[in-house]
């Protein structure tokens, strides 16, 4: 039985599209995208989801103002109605209360465009460039009340060039995001990821065998 997944978005839904594509491309993918939910009626990702044949819903957050619990009650009602088992956040620009996060602990994923725990929060690409790192990337992690701080499920890396801007680095990391988010969902939905305290461990996990070294020094 495939796990029923809700993708929560606020904007264009780039990672949402990657998850929908992966779930539809393979009959043995262990999850189905049951609904895409946005807290903004004008989110461009809603039309992408509809075009892909995925049901959509809007739970507007603006009318609730600072009443996060009220918004989450409305959101939870939609999740219950759709019989959702797992949540993937994909550019969802809304912070959750600790009680909502606890309710979904171990069943809600987020993706962040840096190699956490480095550069959490806003402008991770700018942070990475300012720090002068030579490697950056993306991280899929479980959601906890603290921002970008949950147990790490999967990471992917790219080299950082001296000529990179925040935009060029973002473009390359986005490709990594689209690769690892579906793979991370596959691991979670198939029961191959488990939490041991603050650490996520995966069944039969192994290193890829490849190094990523940057900069590369010529022979």
Domain borders along the chain are: 1-104, 111-203
In tens, the pLDDT along 14-31 reads 999 999 999 999 899 999
pLDDT at 31: 98
Confidence of residue 204 (pLDDT cuts 50, 70, 90): low
Are 137 and 157 contacting, i.e. CB atoms less than 8 angstroms apart? yes
- The count of other CB atoms within 10 Å of the CB of residue 119 is 23
pLDDT tens digits along 176-201: 999 999 999 999 999 999 999 999 99
User: Which top CATH class is 111-203?
Assistant: alpha beta
Picking from 155, 178, 172, 13, the residue whose alpha carbon sits closest to that of residue 92 is 13
Instruction: Give the chain's length.
Output: 219
CA 194 – CA 170 distance, rounded (Å): 30
What pLDDT is attached to residue 205?
Answer: 63
CA 23, chain centre distance (Å): 15
Higher pLDDT, 63 or 217: 63
Hey, what are 108's tokens?
């809600």
Q: Is the pLDDT of residue 219 over 60?
A: no
- Which residues are part of the catalytic machinery? 112
Mean pLDDT of 159-172: 96
For the whole model, what pTM was predicted? 0.94
Percent of the chain, pLDDT > 70?
96
Tokens representing 212? 């990523």
Rounded Cα–Cα distance for residues 134 and 112 (Å): 18
pLDDT recorded at residue 214:
78
pLDDT band for position 215 (cuts 50, 70, 90):
confident
Kindly state the average pLDDT of the residues 24-47.
Answer: 96
Position 126 confidence tier, pLDDT thresholds 50, 70, 90:
very high
Of 3.30.470.20, 3.40.640.10, 3.40.50.850, 3.40.50.170, the CATH number of 1-104 is 3.40.50.170
Sorted by sequence, the CB contacts under 8 Å of residue 170 that are 6+ apart come out as 113, 125
Average pLDDT of 106-125? 97
């Amino acid at each position: 039985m495939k796990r029923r997944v809700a993708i929560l978005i606020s904007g264009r839904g780039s990672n949402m599209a990657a998850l929908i594509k992966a779930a539809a491309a393979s009959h043995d993918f262990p999850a189905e995208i049951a609904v895409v939910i946005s807290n903004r009626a004008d989110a461009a990702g809603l039309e992408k989801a509809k075009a892909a044949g995925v049901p959509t819903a809007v739970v507007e957050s603006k009318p609730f103002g600072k009443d996060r619990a009220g918004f989450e009650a409305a959101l939870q009602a939609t999740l219950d109605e759709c019989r959702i088992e797992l949540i993937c956040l994909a550019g969802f620009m809304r912070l959750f209360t600790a009680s909502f996060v606890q309710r979904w602990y171990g069943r809600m994923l987020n993706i962040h465009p840096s190699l956490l725990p480095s550069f959490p929060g806003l402008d991770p690409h700018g942070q990475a460039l300012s720090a002068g790192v030579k490697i950056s990337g993306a991280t899929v992690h479980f959601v906890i009340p603290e921002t970008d701080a949950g147990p790490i499920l999967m990471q992917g890396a790219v080299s950082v060039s001296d000529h990179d801007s925040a935009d060029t680095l973002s473009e390359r990391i986005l490709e990594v995001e689209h690769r690892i988010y579906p793979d991370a969902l596959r691991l979670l939905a198939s029961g191959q990821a488990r939490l041991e305290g603050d650490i996520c461990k995966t069944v039969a996990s192994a290193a890829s065998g490849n190094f990523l070294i940057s900069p590369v020094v010529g022979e």
